[in-house]
Structure 1
Amino acid sequence: MELGQQLAISLQQLVKELTGYEIEPRVEIPGDLSKGDLTTNVAMTTFVKVKSPMELAEEIKKKLLEDKELSSKFEKIEVIPPGFINFFLKEEIIDSLINSLIQNLSSKPKKTSKPTFAKASAGKQIIFEFGDPNPFKEPHIGHLRNLVLGESISRLLEDQGNEVIRANYQGDVGLHVAKAIYGLLQISNFSFDPELRTEGQFPISNLEKGSLENKAKFLGEAYALGAEKFESDENAKQEIISINNKIYSAFAKASADKSADKQNDTEIYSLWQKGRSISLDHFEELYKVLGIKYKNYYFESETAPIGLEIVENNPEVFEKHEGAYIFRGENEGLHTRVFVTKAGFATYEGKDLALAHLKEKDYPDFDKSIIMTANEQIDYFKVLLAALEKVNKKIAEKTSHLSFGFVNLKEEKMSSRLGNIVSSFWLLEETEKRLKEGHKDVKNEVLDDITVGAVKWSMLKFSRDSDISFSIDESIDLEGNSGPYIQYSYARINSILTKKNKKDFKATPLKNLEAEDIALARLICQYEFFKNKAAGNLSPNILCNYLFQLSQQFNKFYEKEKVLGSMKEEERLRLVIATGLVIKHGLYLLGIEALDRI
């Protein structure tokens, strides 16, 4: 058990003994190391009429000192106004913690590209749905943040001993698909040069030509054309609605008659099938670049008929209103939403009900299901989960929604955008281009890993629910709070260690260290705390903040203290080894490669 957790348990027992109150104490790490290695404000958060926070803090300190086993770990325990209790670790405890850390992290995963799906013996089975890009549309930077956050949170949860089922739910039916197919039908002479295209009939064979990247971009442009026509041309709007109905009708018929051939139901199906295949293959390229391997894929085409059935079979939950089925959210302090349209098609809400049931069917013993989407869908999921609770309380109680903020580009120039969308692929390509231009000494063999690290770090270093302005130039700054800076710090560590035969390393106790040595040692000891806190809060930015601070302290240590050839070589090499292991494992949890050289 991590030392902060041990201390929290002792504090909980002491507060109950001294005051009678049942509380959950918070043990944190001070932002300023001069205030100790651990701190708590438990005396200020416990309401006691007859004692001030300072008096209570002193009593807690006295009781802690009587606990010989626990107090033996601290050099001193101090109480400061208005009631904080600060704890300073003994040098031998720091030494012991670093030893344990080195042993533990030496056996941790070394690659970020192949997550495992082994069932944890003591952990929980968690279905984590994230990403969710829509076929026929280019994945934008909002999807990119979702994907990057999702993979990092998955790894943090796995590190805690959980089995994480990575799930992806993709909208392969809906108005956006109908808009894309309408756009395709307007283009006859296929060309990747938009200026050479004309309007008219669209041969299916045209989607067989060109590279996957170009075909996917073409689909995105077809969607943009359909979306523009839907807003500006009433005739086009009606035709798009008709295409949408044909697609849904095809799947409704296939669901009712399992032997039905959807290709015979509608001429639109061939376009849908080919376009869907191109999009999904295109998405896989992005997942591969980001090191994501999903266990399950779900599609709206499969949830639509199931959602319709669920809604129709629960008349006590869903009210028939003007031909549609609605859920009266006002009765729950929320708002009303439509779950089945008057045309008889399940809406997003109805399909999400079906998705929850499909997940349970695939994983009947799951412990928790997390769905991560943008902040704008918070109210939507409040209604959805309220409806799900009435349909299947067991599933609802284990399902939660996790949100994240919007992403915009800080730079003004976004000429490669499709419409007003910034493509995930474009952002990665542009970042690599600027990295090459600004850092010509970076080796080509690590360029891709640095690019991905730069983009991921810039998505992860901010709190999950905050809106962010992504700066490409800041993301590749080798001297700032960036992925490349952390990767560079690790490469510097590896350079030191390659100069020394690892077989010669000795577990020399850390004694009589200099100021920079002890400052680095104390930071190293904080890794477990911040790693666990990041996992507990589903917030990778907590880990980013720690790794940046650790890298800064290591570089400061390296500049001020001689390592190889110094009187304290063995002690300092242990600090270098420990720092390297922490950074490497921390980067793994963020989904970023630790590079031996840059």
Structure 2
Amino acid sequence: MIKNEILKNLKESLVKSETSLKILKQVQYDKFIDLQSPANADFGDYSTSVALRLAKLLKKNPMIIAEEIKKNFPKTDFIEQIEIIKPGFINFWVNSNYFLDYARKVSEEKFEFPSYYLGKNKKVMVEFAHPNTHKLFHIGHLRNISTGEAMVRILEAVGNKVVRSNYQGDIGLHIAKCIYGIKNSKVKSQNLKTLKEKTEFIGKMYTKGTKAYEEDSKAKEEIIKINQMIYDQDPEILPLWQKTKQWSLEYFDKVYKRVDSHFDRLYLESEITKRGSEISQEIFEKGILEKSQGAIVFNGKKYGLDIRVFVNSLGFPTYEGKELGLAEKEFSEFGELDKNIHVVTPEQTSFFKVTFKVEELIDEKKYKNKQFHLVYEWVRLKESKMSSREGNVIEADWLIDKIKEKIIKQFNCNNKTAEILGVASVKYSFLKNSTQTVIAFDIDESIAVDGNSAPYLIYTYVRCQSVLRKTNDVTLRKAQGDRSIMVSSTNHDELNLLRKFYQFPEVVLKTAENYSPNFIATYIYGLASQFNLFYQKNPILKSEKETKELRLLITLTTAKIIKKGLELLGIKTVEKM
């Protein structure tokens, strides 16, 4: 990337300055020298404030420092102009022919992204989705799976081998509540034929069992007993538990396929419970855990962390204890991992801080600095609140179907197109926001073709394709390969789009470095908006020969980048709307 070349030359320029060199020996170059793309293209393609930073340390006028940096900056063919503006910014203009060359490559789908690895193995695991059996896959899970799927694709794009894992809870009190509801229901489970009927039944029985647990002391005793029976693999309860669990797993698999996601490994809580308990006991004997009021706990106070229970007073491993069994499997089944990224809501922050620390104390080489909690915030439907207990959970399929109905009415499209647009609308509504943002999901906003939505982006892609279909292949190939097209003949709108294209690899890298898919979403929305404005002001097919070829190249490149950007977010496009 040219950005890296500019940074390299900036370092070289600073090294030539003896005064600056003394300061830079005391700091890290990479952290000290900044290089950004200005929001306003009038200020160049890249800008640095390094002279201002040095001025504070050297007690010297930043304009003088900037002039010295400019003077020492090596002559290159890719920098067209360097300009200094008050109070000491240094702006760089890249030779615009580089932008044209990049557009030609992208028009042929030759995408090259900078490498970014989290360790020497170039292998990471992303653990995401995390639905619990015997409960519905809800809107929160949709945000989770959308975030996880995007991060998998983005980390793969920058060169990593990514293992997709999913930890699903199939034992615990919530399961016992559902089983209690089923056992006390007038509906016979064997009479349920379709997966939809079975799924809806499970959801209702969980709500029924939860209310009974909270309101009826006898029911509570029975539910606790059922929970014990499931842990003990009691043959009296096992067949019903296994049958209903399979319903859930089939239902989840259907949802995964619908949102275009899949997994290399599905971990079930029941398969790691025993080992989690054993590890907890082993490290208790080693002094990592300790006894407290009949339970086995980790006293995190000495590390500035919370006290958390790993085995409760009844002898059951808690989520913390089970996590130890899960980590052992995840870090052994796929070879050595550079990082395991857990996509989980913020209330588990303390949980992960403690379990990561305990795992590090168990095996520092295997676990230290190799786990990361990727926090994603809560989501609700704008006009309602969500509660499993009350039975008003916003189920994933219901939400997609609701959006799909509106799309069919609004766009008058077929079912296949509406399905793609429906899933895209949901995913993009999550991914355009920072993972740290709480979302009040607005159905109408998610499909607004005049706003920051998936339909708007896909509409822009379709518009580009429509233009390209109206020209012949010879003209299009010439537009891609014609080296006689010169940037000197471009207007302001054309040049700014060419500059915008060139930022795409940097945005993908920034997204991977920060685990933030919203950076790509923001970029492609900005590109779509910029192209649509260009389209309104500049005729494409009716323009003169060389101008026409350039504008066709711009149209084709815009389409390729929007499609690729959406693909990295796990979103499909359509050819017609």
Shared fold (TM-score, shorter chain, > 0.5)? yes
- Equivalent residue number for residue 59 of structure 2: 50
- Equivalent residue number for residue 244 of structure 1: 227
Query: For each residue in 1:516-565, what CA deviation from the matched residue of structure 2 results, as whole angstroms up to 9, or x when unmatched?
Result: 21121111111111121112211110001110110011111111111113
Query: For each residue in 1:95-130, what CA deviation from the matched residue of structure 2 results, as whole angstroms up to 9, or x when unmatched?
Result: 22223333453799xxxxxxxxxx999971111101
User: Normalising by structure 2, what TM-score?
Assistant: 0.91
1:145 equivalent in alignment to 2:154:
no
1:156 to 145, 154, 161: 154
Aligned CA distance change for structure 1 residues 565 and 311 (closer, same or farther; 3 Å) = same
Q: Which amino acid aligns with 2:147?
A: L
1:125 to 115, 123, 134: 123
Q: Which amino acid aligns with 1:58?
A: E
2:558 to 574, 579, 586: 579
- Equivalent residue number for residue 517 of structure 2: 540
1:84 equivalent in alignment to 2:82:
no
CA drift at 1:26: 3.0
Aligned CA distance change for structure 1 residues 52 and 338 (closer, same or farther; 3 Å) = farther
Instruction: Map 1:274-293; keep pairs closer than 5 Å.
Output: 274-293=243-262
Distance between the aligned counterparts of 1:415 and 1:325, measured in 2? Answer: 32
CA drift at 1:415: 12
Aligned CA distance change for structure 1 residues 525 and 461 (closer, same or farther; 3 Å) = same
1:318 equivalent in alignment to 2:289:
yes
- Equivalent residue number for residue 401 of structure 1: 373
Distance between the aligned counterparts of 1:393 and 1:31, measured in 2? Answer: 44
- Equivalent residue number for residue 529 of structure 2: 552
CA drift at 1:411: 2.9
The count of corresponding residues between Structure 1 and Structure 2 is 553
Distance between the aligned counterparts of 1:170 and 1:558, measured in 2? Answer: 48
CA drift at 1:453: 0.9
The answer to whether the 8 Å contact 1:122/1:161 transfers is: no
- Equivalent residue number for residue 299 of structure 1: 268
Q: What SS is found at the alignment partner of 2:29?
A: coil
Instruction: Map 1:333-482; keep pairs closer than 5 Å.
Output: 333-397=304-368, 398-412=370-384, 419-437=391-409, 439-482=410-453
The answer to whether the 8 Å contact 1:563/1:572 transfers is: yes
CA drift at 1:245: 1.2
Aligned CA distance change for structure 1 residues 210 and 276 (closer, same or farther; 3 Å) = same
Q: What SS is found at the alignment partner of 1:584?
A: helix
1:23 equivalent in alignment to 2:32:
no
CA drift at 1:8: 2.5
Distance between the aligned counterparts of 2:12 and 2:383, measured in 1? Answer: 53
CA drift at 1:502: 2.3
- Equivalent residue number for residue 518 of structure 1: 495
Query: For each residue in 1:207-246, what CA deviation from the matched residue of structure 2 results, as whole angstroms up to 9, or x when unmatched?
Result: xx22101211110111111111112222212211111111
- Equivalent residue number for residue 102 of structure 2: 97
CA drift at 1:396: 2.1
Aligned CA distance change for structure 1 residues 339 and 54 (closer, same or farther; 3 Å) = farther
Instruction: Map 1:64-83; keep pairs closer than 5 Å.
Output: 64=73, 67-69=74-76, 72-83=77-88
Aligned CA distance change for structure 1 residues 535 and 561 (closer, same or farther; 3 Å) = same
Query: For each residue in 1:120-146, what CA deviation from the matched residue of structure 2 results, as whole angstroms up to 9, or x when unmatched?
Result: 999711111011110000011111100
- Equivalent residue number for residue 196 of structure 2: 213
- Equivalent residue number for residue 561 of structure 1: 538
The answer to whether the 8 Å contact 1:136/1:177 transfers is: yes
2:169 to 148, 153, 171: 171
Distance between the aligned counterparts of 2:175 and 2:221, measured in 1? Answer: 14
Aligned CA distance change for structure 1 residues 157 and 134 (closer, same or farther; 3 Å) = same
Aligned CA distance change for structure 1 residues 415 and 178 (closer, same or farther; 3 Å) = closer
Distance between the aligned counterparts of 2:72 and 2:245, measured in 1? Answer: 66
The answer to whether the 8 Å contact 1:120/1:163 transfers is: no
Identical aligned residues as a percent = 37
Query: For each residue in 1:492-532, what CA deviation from the matched residue of structure 2 results, as whole angstroms up to 9, or x when unmatched?
Result: 11111111122332123243112221121111111111121
Q: What SS is found at the alignment partner of 1:401?
A: strand
Distance between the aligned counterparts of 1:234 and 1:52, measured in 2? Answer: 77
Distance between the aligned counterparts of 1:401 and 1:16, measured in 2? Answer: 39
Q: What SS is found at the alignment partner of 2:343?
A: strand
The answer to whether the 8 Å contact 1:530/1:543 transfers is: yes
Unpaired runs of at least 5, structure 1? 109-118, 191-202, 251-264
The answer to whether the 8 Å contact 1:181/1:272 transfers is: yes
Q: Which amino acid aligns with 1:205?
A: Q
CA drift at 1:34: 1.7
The answer to whether the 8 Å contact 1:416/1:426 transfers is: no
Q: What SS is found at the alignment partner of 1:326?
A: strand
Q: Which amino acid aligns with 2:496?
A: A
Aligned CA distance change for structure 1 residues 379 and 272 (closer, same or farther; 3 Å) = same
Q: What SS is found at the alignment partner of 1:164?
A: strand
Query: For each residue in 1:39-93, what CA deviation from the matched residue of structure 2 results, as whole angstroms up to 9, or x when unmatched?
Result: 22333344523324433333222222xx122xx3223222223332222222222
Q: What SS is found at the alignment partner of 1:28?
A: coil
Aligned CA distance change for structure 1 residues 324 and 278 (closer, same or farther; 3 Å) = same
Aligned CA distance change for structure 1 residues 373 and 95 (closer, same or farther; 3 Å) = same
CA drift at 1:480: 0.5
Distance between the aligned counterparts of 1:17 and 1:462, measured in 2? Answer: 43
The answer to whether the 8 Å contact 1:123/1:161 transfers is: no
Distance between the aligned counterparts of 2:330 and 2:385, measured in 1? Answer: 42
The answer to whether the 8 Å contact 2:280/2:311 transfers is: yes
Q: What SS is found at the alignment partner of 2:337?
A: coil
Aligned CA distance change for structure 1 residues 247 and 533 (closer, same or farther; 3 Å) = same
Aligned CA distance change for structure 1 residues 341 and 488 (closer, same or farther; 3 Å) = same
The answer to whether the 8 Å contact 1:124/1:368 transfers is: no
Q: What SS is found at the alignment partner of 2:310?
A: strand
Query: For each residue in 1:545-596, what CA deviation from the matched residue of structure 2 results, as whole angstroms up to 9, or x when unmatched?
Result: 1101100111111111111131111111111111111111111101111221
Aligned CA distance change for structure 1 residues 269 and 44 (closer, same or farther; 3 Å) = farther
Distance between the aligned counterparts of 2:199 and 2:245, measured in 1? Answer: 10
2:69 to 19, 40, 60: 60
Query: For each residue in 1:335-365, what CA deviation from the matched residue of structure 2 results, as whole angstroms up to 9, or x when unmatched?
Result: 1000011221111001111111001220222
Q: What SS is found at the alignment partner of 1:133?
A: coil
Q: Which amino acid aligns with 1:154?
A: V
Unpaired runs of at least 5, structure 2? none
Aligned CA distance change for structure 1 residues 562 and 122 (closer, same or farther; 3 Å) = farther
The answer to whether the 8 Å contact 2:387/2:393 transfers is: no
- Equivalent residue number for residue 178 of structure 2: 180
CA drift at 1:153: 0.8
CA drift at 1:414: 8.3
Q: Which amino acid aligns with 1:592?
A: I
Query: For each residue in 1:10-30, what CA deviation from the matched residue of structure 2 results, as whole angstroms up to 9, or x when unmatched?
Result: 334444554232232332222
- Equivalent residue number for residue 591 of structure 1: 570
Q: Which amino acid aligns with 2:490?
A: L
- Equivalent residue number for residue 5 of structure 2: 6
Q: What SS is found at the alignment partner of 1:48?
A: helix
Aligned CA distance change for structure 1 residues 220 and 17 (closer, same or farther; 3 Å) = farther
Q: What SS is found at the alignment partner of 1:27?
A: coil
Q: Which amino acid aligns with 2:537?
A: K
Aligned CA distance change for structure 1 residues 15 and 233 (closer, same or farther; 3 Å) = farther
CA drift at 1:440: 4.1
